[in-house]
Structure 1
Amino acid sequence: MVDVGKWPLFTLLGAQEVSRIRQACVFGTSANEAIYITQDDEVFVFGLNCSNCLGTGDSQSTMVPKKLDFLRGKKVVSLSYGSGPHVLLATEGGELFAWGHNGYSQLGNGTTNQGVSPILVSTNLQNKKITQVACGSHHSLALTHDGEVFAWGYNNCGQVGSGATANQPTPRRVTNCLQSKVVMGIACGQTSSMAVLDNGEVFGWGYNGNGQLGVGNNGNQLTPCRLAALQGLCVLQIASGYAHSLALTDEGLLYAWGANTYGQLGTGNKSNQLSPVHIMAEKERGEGEKPAVGSKRTRENTEEAWHRETDRIVEIAACHSTHTSACKTQSGQVYMWGQCRGQSIVLPHLTHFSCTDDVFACFATPSVMWRLLSMEHDDFLTVAQSLRKEFDSPETADLKFSVDGKYIHVHKAVLKIRCEHFRSMFQSHWTEDMKEVIEIDQFSYPVYRSFLEFLYTDNVDLPPEDAIGLLDLATSYCENRLKRLCQHIIKRGITVENAFSLLSAAVRYDAEDLEEFCFKFCVNHLTEVTQTAAFWQIDGNMLKEFICRASRCGAFKN
């Protein structure tokens, strides 16, 4: 499952807010801005707000999400962003909205005034239903339901496709070779534009200094030019990076061309390509290519995957902000190449990811999203999700624990699989094996519930004071991982008021690392700690031991 938490910006949001997200996009020159749409079709933005790209009506940064009321209830179908940044957004109803940087009229409203709030782009688009948008650094493209392409904004290299190099202040239909064609997909590099037709032909226009148009030379094209090298192939998808391009055919073949400074073409070298080159051919993956670092597959299994029949590619990924490329195969393998956290990966490298989006979250610079990310899932749940969902479920449980007069519903098989203590308990010579309800009196309800929930989820969510009780349980049941989790929670939640209680518990449960941590905290805050109730309630022996140990550390020197 895609996790927006892999993008640092989204760690600012609480779990409840994240759970409401249906679509999201992280953008900006340093990945410092984000937009997301909730299940209720409310649009929120937060971040640095460079060039008013959040559309909040002001130029203020905000770490607290702000709602764009102008877009309430409008389902978003396509979103793209430029380098200014400016933002384009298309709704299900075919409306086009724009905001942000407008120094080159890339918002399409005929001016160069900054767009502090979303504006409806309508000039020359009346009765046109917009289905897809794409942004270059400072120019914009929109695709209509009828397969027409409109372009506007910065045009120094012909990226608007008008036949000239004057900036285009409002949307203008891209004609010439596309006049009677039906376009089904668009993409932008920094200063170039691409279109794929319904018959699988590909056209490019704009800057071509690195060969990113794939037309066989490096001269700029002021109007759309067909990629003759792809003749006879039916292209389904195109993607453009900063100065390189990718194409995916209906046979699952991948072609790349353009800039290759970081190996973003995946050809095994760093030479630019003026025409499309077939990459990810089986022989290229088999010759000397080793499994990716971090791959969970065994060496044998990976090499078998390398040499078997070609696993066709079903998705390609790139965006104009980065020099990174990625793809996904039919069997779910995700490869990446190009710039990877400052390093150059010149051949497609197998990752342990399950989606191309994660490549950009973890490896790209900046770590933006290459598309509007959808969090909508089908009804299929993974094993982990299913277990989490069924914890404390009376409908499916076959066993109850009674703690402090409250029931916790569980599944005997899950407990046996996850915990050695229960595996021993549920054997025929234990009386508990025959019971439908097991009474627990040595631990509190929050502690025991948290323990059982940990067996279903691998997570613990308790305040440090309750984590002490869970630490006791983890010690009793020999659950070492849970013990470490509890210690982490306690370290994170230590305060002057609870420090001595936590130190006492660490000593009692023989948690040496935690004991050392709490002891140092107490010494560092000695005056305040000695004035707390917890300090004065401690038994004499431990108090003497603490004073002796603190004195050895020089705590009482004048």
Structure 2
Amino acid sequence: MTQLPISHRDRHCGASYSERIRCKDIEMWPLLTLVSPELRSKISLVYTFGQAATEIIFTTLNDNVYCMGTNTSGCLGVGDNVSSLEPRCIDAFSGMKIINIAAGSGPHVLILTDEGEVYSWGHNSYMQLGNGGTAPSLRPSLLTRNIPQKVIQMACGSHHSMVLTVDGEVFAWGYNNCGQIGSGSTSNQGSPRKVTACIGNKRIIHISCGQTASMAVTESGEVYSWGYNGNGQLGVGNNVNQTNPCRIAALQGVVITQVACGYAHALALTDDGQVFGWGANSYGQLGSGNKANTVTPLQVATNAGRVITIAASHYSHSSAALNQNGQVWMWGQLKQQSTPDPKLTLFTNLNSVFSNFSSPPISWKPLLVCSEAEPSVQQSVSSAFNDEATADLKISVDGKLINVHKALLKIRCDYFRRMFQSHWDESSQDVIEINGYSYPVVYSFLRWLYTDHVELPPEDAIGLLDLATSYCESGLKLQCQKQIKEGINEQNAAQLYAAAIKYQAEELQEFCFRFCLNHLTQIVQTESFQLLDKDIMYNFIKESAKKGAFRR
């Protein structure tokens, strides 16, 4: 039996994560059933929009962009107002990589490219296209020449638009009858204008738009809202419209990472997975268990566990959440029924809630499609993991065996490839031993090689992060960091912070430090903080002081 050393730190690779569905599952949007099987198999990104969900835009693997539907206000971007049940190509985007799509109620459409450029077209009676006029545009036009930095996020209200730049600045334009542009007035805004009042000197990390309201989350976890407030959807404690951003004071004491605006309600997600809601609630869209409106945030969806993503759309009164266990919960107006208590679903993605239960059945956000045959290569490889019938190698950890395939290990892992090439005797070795890591950690590592998925509690993910660092698996390292972020809490935060330092995960270290700083009073009283290495504890206290943690 050969024992594996743990060394080699010379390989770097990238990884990304997105909510995905299989190609066959795009039939949740009926228009796509009319697309030819050949073209459907190439769909990459899909987005359904419009007040009756009768328009759809999708991209393909070869970076073409297609549209179908009623083409209200020329929102398909093909140069005319002609409806079509056949896919039509938007030639302006040929060869461009589209990473996001958003739409208003007119509808007007925004598209974001991987270069950070924004294009707009469609309905424009309220200047929501940002081109300075009010005439509808039948073709895409570049908008970001008026925005000085690369755009990383977009949001559309019913007739206004917002973008977030890489520098954390917010620009808004369009309909402004209630102050939703944040300009201090109620005059419509014909071109992108930086929102400066109250948030001009703050770095924004997230934006969202309701029907006629806007929201932004700062780097420190504060939430600012502005615009229409007739239903209390701004969360500021009254029903008065705000023409400038106003901080939601009731959220002081929690750190918000994401907001989601519905038609007239809003949800906020904290860094430890709690959900708060406020605004209109006649359909139970807050998830509070009743149908009473509230003008200040209250904790909701408490039965959904630790939530990692919240979802709502300015088109509807529906709400949804994804928790860290992969469960999808929904509440609000579902199939025209009021549902104030969050319901657990069998869905695997949030878009399924909106396509199946929302009115209209729009996309919550664009969805990545994984084109595949049945069974796919990925499915076949995944099912082969730890399959004794087909395996030709066993990994021994703590006396337990894991069945694997040498060819796949060589394909997927540079460390195994080098090891097999250098000193592996295939004629005599059918078991290798891995020491220095627990069985759950090694099992999860090998399973990741087969499936690209990590399923471990954050404390065990630390060990997997160590292994990923030792084996130079940068992609696995990123997934471990994601797992740790989604599972961090007051009891384990100090331990995770120390682990991030040990394994030189700088971005994770900053995340854990910020979490500890935001929950400092509770964390310094935990056992994991008391057990910190003295140097780490000293440096943490020093950096916390620099951030103003101990000011009177």
Q: 2 CA distance for matches of 1:315 and 1:33?
A: 26
The amino acid that maps onto 1:330 is Q
Deviations 1:424-465 (A, max 9, x none): xxxxxxxxxxxxxxxxxxxxxxxxxxxxxxxxxxxxxxxxxx
**Cα offset for 1:41?**
1.2
Structure 1 residues 368 and 259, CA gap change in structure 2 (3 angstroms): same
2:273 to 234, 244, 252: 252
Using structure 2 for the length normalisation, give the TM-score.
0.63
Q: 2 CA distance for matches of 1:36 and 1:377?
A: 13
Q: 1 CA distance for matches of 2:149 and 2:382?
A: 46
Q: 1 CA distance for matches of 2:287 and 2:219?
A: 27
The amino acid that maps onto 2:336 is G
Structure 1 residues 64 and 222, CA gap change in structure 2 (3 angstroms): same
**Mapping for residues 461-480 of structure 1, pairs under 5 Å:** none
**Mapping for residues 430-509 of structure 1, pairs under 5 Å:** none
1:373 to 356, 367, 373: 367
SS in 1 for 2:283: coil
Q: 1 CA distance for matches of 2:263 and 2:138?
A: 26
SS in 1 for 2:198: helix
Instruction: Please state if 1:71 is matched with 2:93.
Output: yes
Correspondence for 1:519: none
Correspondence for 1:322: 316
Q: 1 CA distance for matches of 2:111 and 2:134?
A: 19
**Mapping for residues 77-476 of structure 1, pairs under 5 Å:** 77-122=99-144, 124-125=146-147, 127-281=148-302, 285=303, 311-376=305-370, 385-386=379-380
Deviations 1:261-310 (A, max 9, x none): 100001111111101110122xxx3xxxxxxxxxxxxxxxxxxxxxxxx8
Contact 1:237/1:249 (8 A) holds in 2: yes
Deviations 1:100-159 (A, max 9, x none): 00001100000001110001114531x421111111010110111111100111000000
Using structure 1 for the length normalisation, give the TM-score.
0.63
**Cα offset for 1:388?**
12
The amino acid that maps onto 1:374 is L
Q: 2 CA distance for matches of 1:356 and 1:383?
A: 25
Correspondence for 1:50: 72
Unpaired segments ≥5 residues, structure 1? 286-309, 391-395, 398-558
SS in 1 for 2:149: coil
Correspondence for 2:38: 16
SS in 2 for 1:178: coil
**Cα offset for 1:382?**
8.4
SS in 1 for 2:355: helix
Contact 1:77/1:131 (8 A) holds in 2: no
1:38 to 28, 50, 60: 60
The amino acid that maps onto 1:11 is T
The amino acid that maps onto 1:152 is W
Q: 1 CA distance for matches of 2:273 and 2:73?
A: 40
Correspondence for 1:404: none
Correspondence for 1:436: none
SS in 1 for 2:51: coil
**Cα offset for 1:11?**
1.3
The amino acid that maps onto 1:318 is A
Deviations 1:517-541 (A, max 9, x none): xxxxxxxxxxxxxxxxxxxxxxxxx
Contact 1:200/1:236 (8 A) holds in 2: yes
Contact 1:241/1:322 (8 A) holds in 2: yes
Deviations 1:332-364 (A, max 9, x none): 111100001111101101111111111011100
The amino acid that maps onto 1:347 is D
Correspondence for 1:418: none
Q: 1 CA distance for matches of 2:130 and 2:377?
A: 48
Deviations 1:42-90 (A, max 9, x none): 1111111001000000110111111111112221222210000000111
The amino acid that maps onto 2:364 is W
2:81 to 24, 49, 59: 59
Q: 2 CA distance for matches of 1:75 and 1:153?
A: 26
Contact 1:109/1:123 (8 A) holds in 2: no
SS in 2 for 1:34: strand
Structure 1 residues 315 and 122, CA gap change in structure 2 (3 angstroms): closer
**Cα offset for 1:15?**
2.5
- Higher relative contact order (Cα pairs below 8 Å, separated by 6+ residues): 2
The amino acid that maps onto 1:205 is W
Q: 2 CA distance for matches of 1:227 and 1:154?
A: 23
Structure 1 residues 389 and 334, CA gap change in structure 2 (3 angstroms): closer
Contact 2:41/2:371 (8 A) holds in 1: no
**Cα offset for 1:385?**
3.6
Q: 2 CA distance for matches of 1:383 and 1:242?
A: 41
Q: 2 CA distance for matches of 1:216 and 1:254?
A: 18
Q: 2 CA distance for matches of 1:342 and 1:388?
A: 40
Structure 1 residues 312 and 383, CA gap change in structure 2 (3 angstroms): farther
Q: 1 CA distance for matches of 2:377 and 2:128?
A: 47
Q: 2 CA distance for matches of 1:63 and 1:143?
A: 34
Provide the identity percentage: 51
Q: 2 CA distance for matches of 1:255 and 1:77?
A: 29
Structure 1 residues 42 and 86, CA gap change in structure 2 (3 angstroms): same
Q: 2 CA distance for matches of 1:16 and 1:388?
A: 26
Contact 2:43/2:371 (8 A) holds in 1: no
Q: 1 CA distance for matches of 2:296 and 2:88?
A: 45
Q: 2 CA distance for matches of 1:51 and 1:193?
A: 24
Q: 2 CA distance for matches of 1:312 and 1:377?
A: 31
The amino acid that maps onto 2:348 is S
SS in 1 for 2:146: coil
Structure 1 residues 389 and 15, CA gap change in structure 2 (3 angstroms): farther
Aligned residue pairs: how many?
362
Q: 1 CA distance for matches of 2:362 and 2:161?
A: 18
